[in-house]
Amino acid sequence: MNGDPLPRRTFLANLVLGVASSLGLGALGARFFAFLSPPAPPEREVEFSAGPLAAIPDGGGAIVHLPSGHVALERTGDGVRAFSAVCTHLGCVIQWRPDPTAAWFCPCHRGRYDRAGRVVSGPPPRALAAIPAEVRGGEVFVRMKLHAREDLA
Amino acid sequence: MSLSMQKLLVAVLSLALFAALIAAGGVDARRQAEARKQAVAALDAAANPQLARGRAVFAKYSCNACHGPGGTGGIMNLNAETGGQVNSLLRVSETYTSAELMEKIRTGVPEVEKGDPTGPSPPLRMPAYRDLVAGTEMTDLVAYLLSLRPPPGTAKSTAW
Amino acid sequence: MKGRLTRWLAERVPISMEELRRPLREELPVHLRTWLAWLGGTPLMLFGIQAATGILLTFYYSPTPHLAYESVRRISTTLRYGWLIRSLHQTAGQLMIVAVILHIIRVFVTRAYRAPRELTWVFGVALFLLTLGFGFTGYSLVYDSLSYWATTVGTNLVAHVPFVGPHVLWVLRGGADVNPNTLARFYNFHIGVLPTLMVLAVGAHLVFVRLHGVARLEGDARRETYDFFPDHVLREAAVALVVLLALVVHAMRSPPGLGEPADPNVTPSHIRPEWYFFPSYRWLKMVPMQVGIWTTTAFVLGMLFWPWLDAGLERLAPGRRLGTWLGSAAFLFTLVLLVWEAVT
């Protein structure tokens, strides 16, 4: 290789080659990357039965695991409030552990929430997400988003 | 073949590959749409398999013949107390428990209430399904019926 | 600034640019420019495609009997470009076997296996057997009806090998019948053991090719050379792009399908291995099992040690080209068996 500048024809040929091959191989790479990213599954808002009201002690709480996710239920008399049982900090499932100041407890980093799902102490940044719930005929119903499962079974 | 020609050949082939992969994008989009449709159908069934089964029972015994597709009503039943039509089923969950609904399906309605007592008897009656629908078919059907909801924003129908 | 960077690099990576550029400036003899010579690189290109698409497929494939079929179905229908990746993998696999066979024919016809290139040939035959192994193990992973039973029948043959057969089969299958161990094992062969052996064998094969140079056709005394870079590289790139283009277009025109899920209780009526096993399949249907096993072994050994066999035949009848006759006859016989099985 000498130090002379490339003739214009060679430069153009190289440029065309460079652009074309980048496009071709780039498209191939893009397809490969798209393959690695599975499409988001469709969702539906669905009403699920969260079980009989009687299963939750009056003034108490319970965790229910539905196909659409983990639900925290809190009962006062004949009324029920539902929240997502997923801790807003890093995603662990909370527990019903009442004490003088709080109602829900997250074992991972000791986050605490009150009966209304608001953060009392610990690292969680937000209150528990509320879930629409109603009681019909002694049974608790919640409305949640269900998405098609990714698992194969 | 000169060097420039070779470079041109590789460039042309690369562009052809690029074009083919763009076309592949179109093919993929179509297949994705197909797969998505199936996934949605599966999701509907998975959301509550019992409801899917119940819907199948509803169709099996031709309930829609009198109660309308999906229980929406609209089938004429002259002088019936329920607005001259066979009643829709969209609000059964408001007035029936599952036990009451099961009993209704088992016994049927041998004589439909007249709207005008002096008028003719309504021609359509509900048969007794006691001997036809039982066991899991019955529970699935009832679960399906109790899941029916009127479209949002509709007025309350006459209680019956 | 640039001077400082260059010095920093030169201190830590003590190879001069001159040394790095030398392989690029290598001069290749012009007889490499013929299309016959292309047949050598093509299997390697296709192997590259197999490795890339294969790695992508492992992100979604599940090697358990319960989930294998469903994972393949999901790849083929739900995932973005899954159909393309799977089709590339399947088709390139088949093409690779064809390319290897064509390359073997080229080397055979040009008698390039003769001294001092015998070891190149031996590693080449090993590569051929490894490629067939890839085909067999890969086919077993789909776990649809044909795949499951083809694997069952194929592995059962091993049991008939004298003395060691049943023990080898036990280890091959990881138990008595085709069971969850079997699929896991075949998967491991396909993505672990065989690729490792393949890379080693390709390495050895290429080392020997480089050491001896690509053999010339008899009578070709040209002394001209051409550049490796950019001349030869561009040629290789053109061939690779043609292959890739053909594969992509084919994928769009006939996306990969899937048979019925495997049912261990029901053997389908038309069970067959893949086309590259048709010759042995046909042969084993024609002769008693033991005869079949021994003749197949002899055939493979004959292929492996062909350079010495050929040299021996040459000494026996100088100039009569007995080796060429024998080899051609063996190839034609295999071809006849293949076509016969294909049409019946």
Structural element, H or E, at residue C306: helix C306-316
Structural element, H or E, at residue B70: none
Among A40-44, C69-73, C114-118, C194-198, name the most confident range.
C194-198
Candidate from B49-53, C193-197, C322-326 with smallest mean pLDDT: B49-53
| Cβ partners under 8 Å of residue B67, min gap 6 | B73, B75, B86, B87, B88, B89
Report whether C140 contacts C281 (CB < 8 A).
no
| Cβ partners under 8 Å of residue A46, min gap 6 | A68, A143, A144, A145, A146, B47, B48
Q: What is the pLDDT of residues C24-67, one digit of tens each?
A: 777 788 877 777 777 888 999 999 999 999 999 999 999 998 88
For chain A, what are the domain ranges?
1-37, 43-147
Answer whether residue C17 is part of any domain: no
Interface test with A, best of B8, B12, B14 (most A CBs within 10 A): B14
CATH of the domain at C246: 1.20.810.10
Chain B contact set for A31 (CB, 8 A): 21, 24-25
Name residue C66's amino acid: H
Across the interface, whether the CB atoms of C241 and B10 are under 8 A apart is answered yes
Cα atoms in the Cβ-side hemisphere of radius 13 Å centred on B3: 14
Across the interface, whether the CB atoms of C84 and A36 are under 8 A apart is answered no
Q: Does C222 touch chain B if contact means CB atoms closer than 8 Å?
A: no
Write down the pLDDT at residue A3: 52
Size of chain A in residues: 153
pLDDT bin (cut points 50, 70, 90) of residue B79 is confident
For chain B, what are the domain ranges?
1-47, 49-147
Which of A28, A34, A152 has its CB closest to that of C80?
A: A34
Q: Does B17 touch chain A if contact means CB atoms closer than 8 Å?
A: yes
Q: How far apart are CA C118 and CA C111, in angstroms?
A: 11
Domain hosting residue C337, numbered range: 274-344
Q: Does C51 touch chain A if contact means CB atoms closer than 8 Å?
A: no
Pairing, β A61-66 against β A130-131 = unpaired
Domain boundary among C271, C298, C328: C271
Across the interface, whether the CB atoms of A35 and C62 are under 8 A apart is answered no
Which of A13, A16, A148 has its CB closest to that of B39?
A: A148
Name the residue in chain A with its Cα closest to that of B17.
A24
Question: Chain B closest CA to A43's CA: distance in Å?
Answer: 8
Interface test with A, best of B5, B21, B36, B94 (most A CBs within 10 A): B21
Which chains are adjacent to chain B, needing at least 3 Cβ pairs under 8 Å?
A, C
Q: What is the pLDDT of residues C188-233, one digit of tens each?
A: 999 999 999 999 999 999 999 888 888 877 777 777 888 787 888 8
Which of A24, A46, A147 has its CB closest to that of B17?
A: A24
Write down the pLDDT at residue A87: 95
Q: What is the pLDDT of residues C68-95, one digit of tens each?
A: 998 998 899 889 999 999 999 999 999 9
pLDDT (mean) for C249-263: 88
Q: Does A20 touch chain B if contact means CB atoms closer than 8 Å?
A: yes
Q: Are residues C136 and C249 in the same domain?
A: yes
Candidate from B149-158, C188-197, C265-274, C323-332 with smallest mean pLDDT: B149-158
Interface of A with C (CB under 8 A): 1, 21, 24, 28, 31-32, 34-39, 152-153
Percent of chain C with pLDDT strictly greater than 90: 51
Candidate from C123-132, C217-226, C283-292 with smallest mean pLDDT: C217-226
Q: How far apart are CA C75 and CA C94, in angstroms?
A: 20
Structural element, H or E, at residue C286: helix C278-286
Q: Are residues C245 and C300 in the same domain?
A: no
pLDDT at B154 over 60: no
Radius of gyration of chain C (CA): 23
Question: Chain A closest CA to C136's CA: distance in Å?
Answer: 25
Answer whether residue C96 is part of any domain: yes
Question: Chain B closest CA to C240's CA: distance in Å?
Answer: 10
Across the interface, whether the CB atoms of A35 and C81 are under 8 A apart is answered yes
Instruction: Decide: helix, strand or coil at residue C219.
Output: coil
Write down the pLDDT at residue C53: 97
pLDDT (mean) for A97-118: 92
| Structural domains in chain C (count) | 2
Average pLDDT over chain A reads 87
Write down the pLDDT at residue B51: 80
A14: which 2 tokens? 């190289």
Residues 37-96 of B with CB under 8 A from A: 39-40, 42-44, 46-48, 93
Q: What is the pLDDT of residues B91-145, one digit of tens each?
A: 888 889 888 999 999 999 888 888 888 888 888 889 899 888 888 889 889 988 8
Q: Are residues C224 and C343 in the same domain?
A: no
Cα atoms in the Cβ-side hemisphere of radius 13 Å centred on A112: 11
Chain A contact set for B36 (CB, 8 A): 39, 42
Which of 3.40.1180.10, 3.40.630.10, 3.40.640.10, 2.102.10.10 is the CATH number of A43-147? 2.102.10.10
pLDDT (mean) for C155-164: 84
Name residue C131's amino acid: T
Write down the pLDDT at residue B159: 32
Q: How far apart are CA C224 and CA C222, in angstroms?
A: 6
Q: How far apart are CA C316 and CA C312, in angstroms?
A: 6
C141: which 2 tokens? 């992973």
Q: How far apart are CA C87 and CA C77, in angstroms?
A: 12
pLDDT bin (cut points 50, 70, 90) of residue B20 is very high
> Is the whole-model pTM more than 0.90?
no
Interface test with C, best of B32, B34, B36, B38 (most C CBs within 10 A): B32
Chain A contact set for C66 (CB, 8 A): 153
pLDDT at B153 over 60: no
Which of 1.10.760, 1.10.10, 1.10.4160, 4.10.280 is the CATH number of B49-147? 1.10.760
Cis bond leading into B117, ω under 30°? no
Q: Does B7 touch chain A if contact means CB atoms closer than 8 Å?
A: yes
Report whether B13 contacts C242 (CB < 8 A).
yes
Domain boundary among C271, C302, C335: C271
Question: Chain A closest CA to C309's CA: distance in Å?
Answer: 46
pLDDT bin (cut points 50, 70, 90) of residue C2 is confident
Across the interface, whether the CB atoms of B47 and A46 are under 8 A apart is answered yes
Q: Does B9 touch chain C if contact means CB atoms closer than 8 Å?
A: yes
Which of C71, C74, C81 has its CB closest to that of A34?
A: C81
